[in-house]
Amino acid sequence: MNDVKAVKVFTAQDNLQAEMVLDTLKQNQIPAYKKDVDESGFMNIYAGNSMCGEEIYVAQKDEEKTMEILREMGLEPEKAPGEEE
């Protein structure tokens, strides 16, 4: 069985930006998910949005293409492809 390594590619400033990024990646056939930063999950439920941030993760094999897409969106990726955290 192949193990898929997820890498963090971007930290969105809020849930709205994270959803925009996830939708764009989905349109480009790149599976991705978001992870709450700090208390953002609670704030998303309680207030409908959070300014704590959302981390975006993709499979390592999709990292380079994701970086290109983020730059095309006018966003700065988390790190260069292949760069360790």
CATH number at residue 33: 3.30.70.1530
The tally of CA atoms less than 13 A away on the side-chain side of residue 1 is 3
Residue 79 lies in a domain: no
> What does the pLDDT average to over 12-26?
93
pTM of structure: 0.76
Express each pLDDT in 49-75 by its tens digit.
556 688 999 999 999 999 999 999 999
The pLDDT of residue 85 is: 46
- Per the structure, the count of domains in the chain is 1
- Give the confidence band of 40 by pLDDT, cuts at 50, 70, 90: very low
84 lies in a domain?
A: no
Is 23 a domain residue? yes
Q: By C-alpha distance, which of 19, 17, 27 is closest to 66?
A: 27
pLDDT of the residue at 51: 60
Tell me, yes or no, whether 81 lies in a domain: no
- Range(s) of the domain holding residue 63: 6-72
| pLDDT greater than 60 at residue 81 | no
